[in-house]
Amino acid sequence: MNVFNLNAEQEWDAANDRDGYRHRRAVIGPRLGASLLGGTLYELPPGEKTWPYHYEQGCEEWVVCVSGHPTLRGPDGERELEPGDVAVFPEGPEGAHQVVNRGEEACRVLLLSSKSPLAIVHYPDSGKVGLWTQSDGYQAMLPTEPTVDYWAGED
């Protein structure tokens, strides 16, 4: 049985260095042998976010606050999390979310997600939608407007 400690020093798999979205992440699902549930540990420096505000079709996500006091943004506003807090983001607009570290020290959150072969990711703040596959990641990022007619390009 494999075990992963969320509080230990980590061998980080990747880091995002985009200003405002800096974080380190450790993908733990494969380390534990998981195939139906994904898990990623994020460490955010002060003032940084995980990802842009978004919601998904084809995926449910959960956040577990591991350390620090990150702020969770959702459709009904913002809430500061405490270590041990858990929140769920269902599919659709009611599950829109973003994690921001407004504290003065780094924080850690664990994001868990159901694994499906395809997810549609909506970004309401920036008016785009992404097509994501489990095997290859993002396949396309498209504007939500203007739309084309269903029959466009058909004979």
Q: What DSSP state is assigned to residue 49?
A: B
pLDDT tens, residue by residue, 88-147:
999 999 999 999 999 999 999 999 999 788 999 999 999 999 998 888 989 999 999 888
- Least Cα distance to 49 among 116, 94, 101, 119 occurs for 101
- The rounded percent of the chain whose pLDDT value lies above 90 is 80
Phi-psi region of 128 (alpha: psi -120 to 50; beta: other; left: phi over 0): beta
- Least Cα distance to 116 among 141, 142, 91, 140 occurs for 91
User: Helices in 6-117 by DSSP H: which ranges?
Assistant: 29-32
3-state secondary structure of 31: helix
Residue 118 belongs to what H/E stretch? strand 118-123
Domain spanning 14-116, CATH architecture: Sandwich (2.60)
Taking the C-alpha atoms of residue 90 and residue 61, their distance in angstroms, rounded to an integer, is 7
Confidence (pLDDT) at 153: 85
Q: Break the chain into its structural domains and give their ranges.
A: 14-116
Which residue has better confidence, 137 or 13? 13
Is the predicted pLDDT of residue 151 greater than 90, yes or no? no
DSSP codes joined into one string, 1-19: -----TTS----SEEE-ST
3-state secondary structure of 27: strand
Residues 6+ apart with CB under 8 A from 61: 88, 89, 95, 97, 111, 112, 113, 114
